[in-house]
Amino acid sequence: MKKIAVLTSGGDAPGMNAAVRAVVRKAIYEGLEVAGVFNGYQGLIEGKIELLQLGSVGDIIQRGGTILRSARSAEFRTLEGREKALKQLKLNGIEALVVIGGDGSFRGALELTALGLPCVGVPATIDNDINGTELTIGFDTALNTVIDAIDKIRDTATSHERTFIVEVMGRDAGDLALWAGLAGGAETILVPEEKYELPNIIERLKSGTGRGKKHSIIIVAEGVMSAAELAEILKREAGIETRISVLGHIQRGGSPSARDRVIASQYGAKAVEVLIEGRGSIAIGMRNHVVVEYELADVFEQSDGLDMDMYKLSKELSI
């Protein structure tokens, strides 16, 4: 193999740049040429491909977002679109592709491997919702952003003796809500994987007030409902007044945490190794603190689900 390419796709995540840097530097270290594809799969279809050098990825390890930019591409979902993408790779002499992105981007990569192109997926999403890996790039940074926000909200919640509802991202996964709730000491955490019991939430809020609690923080994952909806329900059903805070896209930005930079470097380098060794339908991930590779197709086999021990613990500690 002489030349590979790298792209970032789907929702951006802090640490994508560190992963791009790792792919480029490792590839060059191993004597390969490496090209960057701009604007994800859409850019691939349009031939937005440039050869990258060591210096192209200098000074980016600490930056959020992605220098290769990201996009969502409807055209790539069609066979015609993917054939155009393959043609562009061929024109540029590219023999394999590293895809840095989330679940949807991995599906796209799997479709490309079905057309004969070796692809490796590097998991990067703040949602931490890729099956087969315990950790995705961007999750740790987003988590720290949420914790920082909860700590600040807690100050005002205490001063005014208020109940706050904080809405966090995560799409259909509750990881961000659960970890943030546990680390932020939230009284109640609502995740999409577990049915919530309204009487329970109300009871907890009331008994907290009863024992002189000055404030309450409820974390709701966007996959359950919006903070505004929950506020409305609590008011209607129990006359409980709340304030809401929707953290939104600040969760996707910012300088990546040390942890995200480290795993991005490890995952990116591992992706290049896998391609050099001749495997081409692989996902990279972390299990028990070890960087692992596994079949890309396994990502879509069955859901890892929520860490139920952690969920149980969060309940035990917030009585």
Q: Minimum distance between the CB of residue 35 and ligand ADP, rounded to whole angstroms? A: 19
Q: Minimum distance between the CB of residue 193 and ligand ADP, rounded to whole angstroms? A: 18
Strands 281-287 and 119-123: parallel
Give the largest CA-CA distance in the chain: 70
Q: CB-wise, 119 or 150, nearer to ligand ADP?
A: 119
Residues with Cβ < 8 Å from 313, sequence gap 6 or more? Answer: 182
Stretch that binds ligand ADP, among 22-30, 50-58, 68-76, 291-299 (CB under 6 A): 68-76
As a whole number of angstroms, the distance between CA 268 and CA 83 comes to 26
**What single-letter amino acid sits at 115?**
L
Stretch that binds ligand ADP, among 101-109, 146-154, 192-200, 211-219 (CB under 6 A): 101-109
Under a CB-based contact definition with an 8 Å cutoff, are residues 168 and 176 in contact? yes
How many residues at the interface with ligand ADP, by CB under 6 A? 17
Which bin fits 291, alpha (ψ -120 to 50), beta or left (φ > 0)? beta
Q: CB-wise, 10 or 132, nearer to ligand ADP?
A: 10
- Work out whether 102 is an interface residue with ligand ADP (CB under 6 A): yes
Q: Which of 17, 39, 73, 216 binds ligand ADP (CB under 6 A)?
A: 73
Catalytic positions, please?
Answer: 127
Q: Minimum distance between the CB of residue 41 and ligand ADP, rounded to whole angstroms? A: 4
Q: CB-wise, 170 or 208, nearer to ligand ADP?
A: 170
Assigned token pair, 109: 């990569």
- Work out whether 181 is an interface residue with ligand ADP (CB under 6 A): no
Under rule CB under 6 A, which residues in 26-45 are in contact with ligand ADP? Answer: 41
Q: Which secondary-structure segment (H or E) carries 282?
A: strand 281-287
**Whose CB is nearest to ligand ADP?**
104
As a whole number of angstroms, the distance between CA 62 and CA 261 comes to 8
- Work out whether 76 is an interface residue with ligand ADP (CB under 6 A): yes
**What single-letter amino acid sits at 46?**
E
Q: CB-wise, 30 or 46, nearer to ligand ADP?
A: 46
As a whole number of angstroms, the distance between CA 210 and CA 107 comes to 50
**How far does the chain reach from its first CA to its final CA, in angstroms?**
58
- Work out whether 222 is an interface residue with ligand ADP (CB under 6 A): no
DSSP annotation string for 70-102: ----SGGGSHHHHHHHHHHHHHTT--EEEEEE-
Q: Minimum distance between the CB of residue 36 and ligand ADP, rounded to whole angstroms? A: 17
Q: Minimum distance between the CB of residue 173 and ligand ADP, rounded to whole angstroms? A: 11
Chain residues that interact with ligand ADP, rule: CB under 6 A: 9-11, 41, 72-73, 76-77, 101-105, 107-108, 111, 125
